[in-house]
Amino acid sequence: MLKWWRAANGARKSSAVTPTRHNYHTIQAVPREISGHRVAVLERAHGRIPAVVFSQSYVQRNPNDPTSIVATTSVSQKLLLSTERKQIKAILKDVKLPFFCSTTFPLQIRAGSGSSTILDTKKVLPIKIHRDEEGNILNIVFVWAEDGTELMVDVPILFKGEDVCPGLKKGSDDEDGGVLGGESKRQRLVEEVREGLVSAGDPSAAWSGFD
């Protein structure tokens, strides 16, 4: 999966953006003052998913390597929340992983469960979903993603037209894997894309691990 810098206001995107369904998803949450295993178990028992929102900051592990930048979490703007399980599952059904964790959403913080009082509305980016062994969501980690904020985002890559690509069809019969046949060819394509981004001279095209 490719990793690069982008501004939360979509500076790297075309100005003519076609609206998609995820633009209409607003995550609703309520403040949570207490953390801990027992509290989390109680929250999940009542149909809620514990969540936390951080500020995202960065550390350059190797001063001589601009690609060694990794994301860290800052507790200066840490906020504990509880989200509704039904709503999160509905959003994940529409905006499936890994796209969910590369999409910004409006976050609406309400005074309490069922309350119509809105305390705050901001934009967030989901960066991690923790699950148990059965696949049930245990908690979600977000980072603040207000306009102008630079974030490190996992960008999914989709290969379209594989079922009709002559090179891939030929790959099974060709020692070299055809024009684009085989995983090695596909990986080479990804590397070429990566090299193209890095060699473009854009310091924001940083490649590093981020979890």
- The structure tokens listed for 129 are 């979903």
Buried residues in 9-33 as b, exposed as e (16+ CB within 10 A): eeeeeeeeeeeeeeeebebbbbebe
Topology (CATH) of 2-156: Ribosomal Protein L25; Chain P (2.40.240)
For residues 97 and 129, is the Cβ–Cβ distance under 8 A?
A: yes
Whether the model clears a pTM of 0.85, i.e. scores above it, the answer is: no
Please enumerate in sequence order all residues whose Cβ is within 8 A of that of 90, keeping only pairs 6 or more positions apart, or say none: none
**What's the pLDDT at 114?**
82
Per-residue pLDDT at 62: 72
Half-sphere exposure of 83 (CA within 13 A, CB side): 26
How high is the pLDDT of residue 74?
A: 62
Cβ atoms within 10 Å, residue 154:
15
pLDDT at residue 149, as a whole number: 80
What's residue 193's pLDDT? 52
pLDDT at 53: 92
Block means of pLDDT (10 residues each) for the chain, length 211 residues? 42 38 78 90 94 79 68 72 95 92 93 88 92 94 86 81 74 51 56 49 36 33
What pLDDT does 10 receive?
A: 41
